[in-house]
Structure 1
Amino acid sequence: MTPTLNSIISRLHVKQLRLLIALGEHGSLLGAARQLALTQPGASKALHEIETTFGTPLFVRTNRGLEPNAVGRCVIRYARLIHTDLAHLREEIVGIMRGYGGRVSVGVIMGAVPLLTDAITAVSADQPEMSVEIVEDTSATLLSLIDAGRLDLAICRTSVSQTPYLYDSVFVQNETLAVISNTAHPLARRRRLPLKDLAGYRWVVYRANMPMRLLLEREFQDAGLRFPTHLLETTSAFATLSLLQKNVSLVALVSIDVARFCTEHGVACTLPLQLSSKSEPYELVTRRDAPLSPGARMLMEAIVERGGK
């Protein structure tokens, strides 16, 4: 019988999480015991207590040592997550006691990466000891991470959520889109470029039902063109740029900020294509009424300030 959550919380100790992590690393009671300065009988007793707490064996005893079974691998994975969260907790407490924000976890969609990095650079200049975790993904994924408490804030869009009322959001800036390519693309030197001239090329795009993808589909539909097939789908700015570098015939739809960054650093060029559709604006999103650390508030102010420029 699977134990209740209250049962696990009341019986599981942090030092037991350390034992689970050590067992996952060493695959033996002896190795784990040495790492944690325990006797082997003490480690064996602690493991028995852990397995009793979860109501099931976590390891298979073999002549090579201990091998985690499916449940064991699951428990070890969460033990590592909890251990990491506790390390982040300590880091943030130290930061608050020293008068700075400690640690901030922020999510961002691909198009807003340059905006976020500008804001982080400004905040880091004032608070050089503040740690920042950056997660780049789709709006839907970032909102789920906010729900789970894994992110303090995100630059994304609440329109993709069926429950936008769960979030506090602030307008950051409108998004203008551009099409980029390798600087050696066959159409890179054109002065004007209609969409039909790009219809035969392979595109790097967001996956289906994402705002940028829907906008591009609408552009093709309004132009009476068939939407390209054999797409390369990614939510990563780096993957997009890497693909463009490897294949001179590819084109990609990105935000104007990403396009400017690429052009300024010579890693891609912006094609002279005028898009008629307007993209949805960026929002700065937090969990509704969630408490925010001083560092998170500082970063939010920097984002809004740079978004208004």
Structure 2
Amino acid sequence: MSALDSYLQTNLKARHLRLLVAIDTYRNLTQVADVTNVTVPAISKSLAELERGLGLTLFTRTARALVPTQYGDCLIRHARELLTNLNQTRDELKALSSGTEGKIHIGMLPASASVLLPQALSLLKQRSPGTNVMVTEGTTASLLPELWQGHLDLVVGRLPPPDTLGSFEERELLEEPVTLMVGRHHPLARKKQLNWSDLRPFPWILPPPGSILRDPLERALEAHDVPLTNNYIETLSMHVARVQLQISDFIAVMAGTPGGDAAQPFHTLPLRLPRLLRPAGVLWNRNRGLTPGARRMLSCLEEIAEQLEAGAVSARAVPAVSLATG
């Protein structure tokens, strides 16, 4: 066994991992000392012992900061993963010892904020009241790194393109149609026959550039000779979109149940769009096993998706549509 193998297996401690992460975060020993309540000489000594035990230089000193070497980058990356796993283990053990059934961390993409996730959460709490959930809403760009690092157990929403998945496992759950929506007062809502050219005079509520819907939407509209005007609002906010549709003559692109019932303040334009987005679904890190709570949540998501497809679940008080922005 080499000295490196021996040190990693017998001498590397959690305190070393925390030290590496702290130095990488602040890049300054004085700041690390302030945060950890340990003196600068003690930190320097611990780092020197770690480098000597591994036989590797982990940081280089510059005039302004400590900068990780390639060995430091490698060890810091794994240190963050190991500390995340330790924290998750602690949380599960505490939950078991207190009689609860664990905590799930779920990332929610905007397109899942209609019926699927709220109904699945309701079913989970009916079946397992002791399984607690923390839901964080965000974009694909913000949530997928959190999932990869182990800070999230699941991400629910519009599935991203397959080439962005990398180490993620996915499950398709629900095909939600993408439709053009206006308020019920809108001039187009009163037309008995509608042509694509009728859309040209009106302003739009658009997903921002870089969102997964923007490019395919523009291509679909251009194919029908409906170029987007300079009169638009770009937003990921469902609240902003709903209010604007109710008080003005904007057109928005939404996913989910069409606005056909009397309680729904929207009108679905009878113009068929091609399939612009992938289905709603769930993602998890294939390199990490799902916790019992995450498996229960996955089962609830699958069951609610089947019921929604069959029309067996109603939206109740939950908004029936969502901004198709992912």
TM above 0.5:
yes
Question: 1: CA distance between counterparts of 2:219 and 2:284?
Answer: 30
Q: Choose which of 284, 290, 298 in structure 1 pairs with 2:296.
A: 298
Letter of the aligned partner of 1:48 in structure 2?
A
- 1:179 Cα deviation from its structure 2 partner: 3.5
- 1:204 Cα deviation from its structure 2 partner: 1.0
Could you report, residue by residue, the CA deviation over 1:77-120 in whole angstroms, capped at 9, with x for unpaired residues?
98667545532331133335556542323344422222213322
RMSD: 4.9
- What are the within-5 Å matches in structure 2 for residues 1-309 of structure 1? 13-20=13-20, 28-29=29-30, 32-33=32-33, 36=36, 38-49=38-49, 55-57=57-59, 60=62, 68-71=65-68, 83-96=83-96, 100-114=100-114, 115-124=116-125, 126-128=128-130, 130-134=132-136, 136-138=138-140, 151-156=152-157, 160-162=161-163, 170-180=171-181, 187=186, 190-192=189-191, 194-200=195-201, 201-205=203-207, 207=209, 210=212, 214=216, 217-218=219-220, 220-221=222-223, 224-228=224-228, 236=236, 238=237, 241-242=239-240, 250-256=250-256, 269-277=265-273, 279=275, 280-286=278-284, 291-307=289-305, 308-309=307-308
Question: 1: CA distance between counterparts of 2:149 and 2:36?
Answer: 31
Matched-pair contact (CA < 8 Å) for 1:88–1:103? no
User: Higher mean Cα deviation, 141-150 or 151-160?
Assistant: 141-150
Letter of the aligned partner of 1:68 in structure 2?
A
User: How high is the sequence identity, in percent, across the aligned residues?
Assistant: 21
Question: 1: CA distance between counterparts of 2:234 and 2:68?
Answer: 34
Question: 1: CA distance between counterparts of 2:66 and 2:171?
Answer: 46
Question: 2: CA distance between counterparts of 1:40 and 1:55?
Answer: 19
User: Higher mean Cα deviation, 245-254 or 44-53?
Assistant: 245-254
Structure 2, gaps ≥5 residues long: 309-326
Matched-pair contact (CA < 8 Å) for 1:175–1:282? yes
Question: 2: CA distance between counterparts of 1:292 and 1:256?
Answer: 28
Number of equivalenced pairs: 285
Could you report, residue by residue, the CA deviation over 1:200-250 in whole angstroms, capped at 9, with x for unpaired residues?
4234126569368526633552xx31432667666x4x3x54477689565
Question: 2: CA distance between counterparts of 1:77 and 1:233?
Answer: 36
Question: 1: CA distance between counterparts of 2:165 and 2:77?
Answer: 31
Letter of the aligned partner of 1:253 in structure 2?
V
Q: Which residue of 1 aligns with 2:319?
A: none
Letter of the aligned partner of 2:41 in structure 1?
P
Secondary structure at 1:190's aligned position in 2?
Answer: helix
Matched-pair contact (CA < 8 Å) for 2:92–2:103? yes
Could you report, residue by residue, the CA deviation over 1:228-285 in whole angstroms, capped at 9, with x for unpaired residues?
2667666x4x3x544776895654312135979xx86xxxx52441241354433344
The 1:141/1:226 distance shift into structure 2, 3 A limit, reads: same
Q: TM-score, normalised by structure 1?
A: 0.64
Question: 1: CA distance between counterparts of 2:222 and 2:110?
Answer: 22
Matched-pair contact (CA < 8 Å) for 1:142–1:154? yes
Question: 2: CA distance between counterparts of 1:132 and 1:90?
Answer: 17
- 1:161 Cα deviation from its structure 2 partner: 1.2
The 1:241/1:86 distance shift into structure 2, 3 A limit, reads: same
Letter of the aligned partner of 1:202 in structure 2?
W
Question: 1: CA distance between counterparts of 2:213 and 2:269?
Answer: 19
Question: 2: CA distance between counterparts of 1:288 and 1:98?
Answer: 29
Q: Which residue of 2 aligns with 1:64?
A: none
Structure 1, gaps ≥5 residues long: 62-66
Matched-pair contact (CA < 8 Å) for 1:172–1:303? yes
Question: 2: CA distance between counterparts of 1:212 and 1:99?
Answer: 47
